[in-house]
Amino acid sequence: MQKTNDQILIEFCTRPVEQVFSQFGSSENGLNEAQVITARADHGPNEIAMPPKPTFFQDIFSRCKNPLVIQLLVICAISFAMDDLRAAVVVGAMIVLSVAIAYFQESKSMAAVERLRCMVQTTSVVIRAGKETEISLSAIVPGDLVILDAGAIIPADIRLLSAKDFFVGQSSLTGESIPVEKQATPCSKAIMSPLELPNACFQGSTVISGSARGIVINTGSRTFFGAISEQLKQPDAPTSFDRGIAGFTWLMIRFMMVMVFCVFLIVGLTKHNWTEALLFALSVAVGLTPEMLPMIVTVNLSKGAMAMSEKKVIVKKLNSIQNFGAIDILCTDKTGTLTQDRIILEKHVDVTNRQSEDVLRYAYMNSYYQTGLRNILDRAILSHEELDVEKTCKKIDEIPFDFNRKRMSVIIEFEGTNVLICKGAVDSIVKVCSEFQVDEEINPLIDVVKNDIMEEYENLSGDGYRVLAIAYREFPSDKQVFSVADESNLIILGYIAFLDPPKDSAAPTLMALKTQGVTVKVLTGDNALVTAKVCKDVGLDVAHIVSGDELVGISEEKLMVLADQTTVFAALSPAHKRMIIECLQKRGHVVGFLGDGINDAPAMKAADVGISVDSAVDVAKDSADIILLEKSLQVLEDGILEGRKVFGNIIKYIRMGASSNFGNMFSVVGGSYFLPFLPMAPIQILLNNLLYDVSQVGIPTDTVDDEYVLAPRKWNIANIRNFMIFIGPMSSIFDYATYFLML
């Protein structure tokens, strides 16, 4: 059986480096030019195979498949066949204007998206034939040796060969906000998921700090990133807007079929001219159709798109604006939406969980004097509070971090004494400590205290904090050389705890969305503990958090209920997110999804409205209907209100136009029976309809009542039908009174 790309990556990450080099014909000097040419011929360019962009004619044809446009095309064709050229020209002009406005507005938005795409880094540094070379990401092939530094984008799926203080941000793949430490040593063969590999980096990730060198294993669509992209090739499901327009179109078609049949029989039997009866019946069909609807809808949506562009929102697909207003459930990731998307030092406490300035000062000196590249946690410590350590301290030595010890130490001279300050994982620090300090009192670190320390560490971790411990030991001033062996008999001072804090605007915006009828659900790949802390702080219900493990093997019926009742989902895979979106839609909800990673793209594609940000990966932006230039729930709130205004004006025209047309045609049908002549000539019906519709072109600029935008608005075909049937004939009362006066 052929191995999957995930299995291939796991296999190469568990082999010795020599075997990996042998498999690809590579070495410490990288590939030579001939090997690169062969590899590119075998594997193709390092690009994700996305669906091709439609040509101009394909784009125009897809817009003509709109049910309303098809209805007008049929009427136009029949009018032309019946030699009613004036009617055919008028209807055809409406079709052209509607399609053209939509095309140019969306083309403008897509041009803005392309400008964003051009801002993304597109090169990487590789070793080929023993020389470092900067090449485009698409030119990378399996077997290439890649050099990675802080700020670099991981260009493919890579097995690390060497790494120093190497931290990678994988939030675009997993949703985890905390950078992941990576190492170069081979890992256990028991690993089942590629994301568990400590010596693998994935395409789409970014280097936060440190440096590394690795060999490329998979490229293009064979990467972990590419496998998720394959899910995006499925055709788009109909959205709430599509279903609403289709429902209204079929309502009008049913009315037309009944009216055309009745008019044809009545006129044919009373006037005895069946050709004239057919032409008149078709004119009634034209008269019943709100011909300007495609144009009114497009102008409404275009106006909404322009209004939203002023609020830092790019609308890629005009139809998504109405869907925006109909959203009653907004699913969102946590990082950067609810949180500030930056790690800060939240706590510095002693072992009794009381705030301690000593813990902060020692942690600061450790981060300040280390010579390795500072990771995101070190930067958080140094930015928390600036301390002047140069005047009182002098660096003596350093014991670098490694993955086995999970700690690092610096040695400084302070007040005539050499002080070793150690910072690292709590369990690793506790192992090398023999005493603890509270205030100025130092006591033996007995087992009971150790247990208390570990319990407090677990409590902090349970609250979503990333926790490190701080310890120290004093040495005589004449000792100048230090080693790992000196990290013993330390005195533990306390902990430093980090968090990606919630935005100040998150809680008020969530409350505002709730009052407007929008329920917010969090769907994240981050772990449940971190997610619970953040969601609780912004006021979301965290009484029952569902993790991805609980969804394995669950039936669709149970998942539908769970999706409806649960507010927060954590540790989700991309497939889980999509399943939840689809289940919510089957429960009758209109769902929006906000995300920026490759792991969010399948869910964005499935949602009625896919929302991304300008800093998102290309695949996420390609899947989105709307792109935010600022990742903020406040911007979303503005967009939802704008969508409701647009929908309100669309429905306003539909109800007015459809009921007016139905009333006119109801009068014409009755008049054709009672009067000895046709009440209106076919061209008069069309002209009357056109003049009325032209008067409605100002509707997109009409105001919408504040009460109307306070709740989600959806298509209600039954309501439109009842409005037509009730209001239309009422307007015919005066027409029938006129007929009877003329008899």
**Ordered DSSP codes for 117-144:** HHTS--EEEEEETTEEEEEEGGG--TT-
Residues 6+ apart with CB under 8 A from 340: 500, 501, 502, 503
The residue type at 368: Y
**pLDDT at residue 348, rounded to an integer:** 94
Is residue 477 in a domain?
yes
Q: Do residues 25 and 34 make contact, with C-beta atoms less than 8 angstroms apart?
A: no
Sheet holding 519-523, edge to edge: 313-315, 626-628, 609-613, 591-594, 329-332, 519-523, 568-570, 546-547
Query: Which pair of structure tokens corresponds to residue 581?
Result: 């979106």
Of the pLDDT bands very low, low, confident and very high (cuts 50, 70, 90), residue 120 is very low
Write the CATH number for 390: 3.40.1110.10
**pLDDT confidence of residue 146:** 95
Kindly state the DSSP code that residue 592 receives in the 8-state scheme: E
Helices (H), 587-704: 601-606, 618-623, 633-674, 682-694
The answer to whether position 513 is within a domain reads no
Which pLDDT score, from 0 to 100, does residue 739 have?
A: 64
Mean of pLDDT values over 629-658: 81
DSSP state of 613: E
Lowest mean pLDDT among 88-92, 158-162, 640-644: 88-92
- Strand runs labelled E in 170-238: 180-181, 200-201, 206-218
- Residues belonging to the active site: 333
pLDDT of 635 strictly over 70? yes
In a domain, residue 327? The reply is: no
The tens digit of pLDDT for each residue in 662-715 reads 877 777 777 777 767 667 766 677 777 777 777 777 777 788 888 888 888 888
Domain hosting residue 488, numbered range: 344-499
- Whole-angstrom distance, CA of residue 290 vs CA of residue 294: 9
- Give the 3-state DSSP-derived string for 247-258, with helices as H, strands as E and coil as C: HHHHHHHHHHHH
Q: Report pLDDT digits (tens) over 315-336.
A: 777 777 778 888 999 998 887 7
Which has more pLDDT, 73 or 291? 73
3-state secondary structure of 533: helix
**How large is the angle between the packed helices 85-118 and 274-288, nearest 10 degrees?**
30
Separation CA 281–CA 270 (nearest Å): 14
Q: Which residue has the tokens 């209109």?
A: 590
Question: Structural domain tally of the chain?
Answer: 1
pLDDT in tens, 17-42: 888 899 999 999 999 999 999 999 99
Angle between helices 85-118 and 67-81 (to 10 degrees): 150
651: tokens are 């429905």
Model confidence at 205: pLDDT above 90: no
* Cα distance between the two ends of the chain: 87
**Average pLDDT for 542-569:** 89
Whole-number Å distance between alpha carbons of 473 and 453: 19
Q: For 198-213, what is the mean pLDDT?
A: 85
Answer yes or no: is pLDDT of 116 > 50: no
The mean of the pLDDT values for the chain is 82
Considering the chain, what percentage of its residues have pLDDT values greater than 90? Answer: 22
Q: What pLDDT digit, counting tens, does each position of 169-202 carry?
A: 787 677 666 778 888 877 766 677 787 788 899 9
The answer to whether the beta carbons of residues 304 and 702 sit under 8 Å apart is no
Average pLDDT (413-439) is: 92
C-alpha dihedral, 250 to 255 to 258 to 259, nearest 10°: -140
Alpha carbon distance 157, 217 (integer Å): 6
- CA dist., res. 534 & res. 526, Å (int): 11
Please name the amino acid found at residue 730: M
User: Is 145 in a helix, a strand, or coil?
Assistant: strand
Q: Is residue 31 part of a domain?
A: no
301 vs 148: which has the higher pLDDT: 148
Residue 317 lies in a domain: no
pLDDT in tens, 130-167: 999 989 888 999 999 999 987 788 889 999 999 877 88
8 Å CB contact between 646 and 321: yes
Q: What is the pLDDT of residue 362?
A: 95
Confidence (pLDDT) at 360: 94
Tokens of 102: 């939509």
Contact 628, 646 (CB under 8 A): no
User: For residue 485, what are the contacts with CB-CB under 8 A and spacing of at least 6?
Assistant: none
| pLDDT tens string 332-368 | 888 777 888 788 999 999 998 899 999 999 999 999 9
pLDDT for res 51: 60
Neighbour count for residue 687 (Cβ, 10 Å): 15
pLDDT 10s digits, 449-495: 999 999 988 888 877 788 999 999 999 988 888 999 999 999 999 99
* Model pLDDT, residue 701: 74
Q: Exposed, middle or buried, 381 (CB in 10 Å: 0-12/13-18/19+)?
A: buried
Non-local (6+) Cβ contacts of 410 within 8 A are 365, 366, 369, 370, 395, 397, 398, 399, 420, 421
Residue 119: per-residue pLDDT:
44
Q: What is the DSSP string of 368-386?
A: HH--SPP-HHHHHHHHH--
> Which of 222-236, 293-307, 374-388 is predicted most confidently?
374-388
**What is the distance between the alpha carbons of residues 663 and 654, in angstroms, rounded to a whole number?**
14
> How far is 320 from 298, CA to CA, in rounded Å?
12
The confidence score (pLDDT) of residue 354 equals: 92
Q: Which residue has the tokens 């002549």?
A: 677
Proportion of the chain above pLDDT 70, given as a percent: 89
DSSP state of 568: E
CA dihedral (72, 76, 81, 86) positive or negative: positive
- What interhelical angle do 85-118 and 56-64 show, nearest 10? 130
Task: Give the pLDDT of residue 682.
Answer: 66
pLDDT surpassing 60 at residue 591: yes
Residue 432 domain-assigned (yes or no): yes
Q: Is residue 142 part of a domain?
A: no
Query: Does a structural domain hold residue 475?
Result: yes
